[in-house]
Copies of this chain bind each other. A is one copy, B any other.
Amino acid sequence: MRIRLVLEYDGTGYCGWQLQRPGEDSIQARLEAALAQLFGQPIRVTGAGRTDAGVHALGQVAAFDAPRQCEMAEVARALNALLPPDICVRQAHPAAPGFDPRRNAWLRVYEYRILNQPTRSAFDYRHSWHIREPLDLAAMAAAARQFIGEHDFAAFRTQGTPVRSTVRRIYLSQWSTEGSRLTYRIEGSSFLRHMVRTMVATLVQVGRHRLGLAEVQALLRSGTRGQAPAAAPAGGLFLVGVRYGLNSGRLYERTPC
């Protein structure tokens, strides 16, 4: 039977969702090790998004084929007993045969957190980008709105990754604030590698008045990497959730945000 898991993890100590080089420690490897222990045989998992080293998840979705019938609550409980404290299973559900968390995903939700205050924090340093100088939030919000719609995001990806198309559809791109905490939320069909972090770095340059709205527009139109700022630090980024359509048995089912 195919099972879909919703995972939460603190990516600080990991090389990312996927193993890049032998000897590294990935979320996927930890999950596969726990599943092998649980079922007594090697089990392969697929994830919805390949989060990079240091990137976190509140609602990563993964799927695997269980070699026997099992109770969902029992799978979650057993995996949580086997996984390290910084990775946990929030939900386990039966999935349609052949359910592919990556290909079947309709929408991915990411958040990027910034701590915008003069002094750093002893608690948030793994989970936010600390920026001391005040940022122009109105300008950042206006620039963020420019990303909504269908655009060629070639300027915002890591060079050299082979992809069929660099056109992506963005449904939501907005900032919210709570005291000195700024959160950027973006919802899109899918994302290119380093795309969200490069967009955040670009918006922060707008907030510092080092880039204007017209320059962001030009970046979006240019289609070439190199002019956009370097990606924002990994620690501020969270894969908040993934939504699926009818093909996985639920309409706009949403992982906890």
Interface residues of A (CB under 8 A from B): 8-10, 56, 76, 80, 85-90, 119-123, 125, 127
Q: Determine how close the nearest CB of chain B comes to the CB of A90; give it in whole angstroms.
A: 6
In the complex this chain forms, how many copies of it are found? Answer: 2
Q: For the complex, give the distance between the alpha carbons of A121 and B80 in Å.
A: 10
Q: Jot down 13 A-B pairs with beta carbons below 8 A, ordered by A.
A: A8-B122, A10-B122, A10-B123, A56-B123, A76-B119, A80-B119, A85-B120, A85-B122, A86-B122, A88-B119, A88-B120, A88-B121, A90-B119
Identify the closest chain B residue to A83 (Cβ).
B122
Q: For the complex, give the distance between the alpha carbons of A116 and B121 in Å.
A: 26
Pairwise interchain contact B123-A127, C-beta atoms closer than 8 A:
yes
Contacts of A85 in B (CB 8 A): 120, 122, 125
Q: For the complex, give the distance between the alpha carbons of A9 and B87 in Å.
A: 23
Contacts of A87 in B (CB 8 A): 122
Identify the closest chain B residue to A6 (Cβ).
B119
Contacts of A127 in B (CB 8 A): 123
Pairwise interchain contact B10-A120, C-beta atoms closer than 8 A:
no
Q: For the complex, give the distance between the alpha carbons of A187 and B87 in Å.
A: 35
Q: Determine how close the nearest CB of chain B comes to the CB of A145; give it in whole angstroms.
A: 30
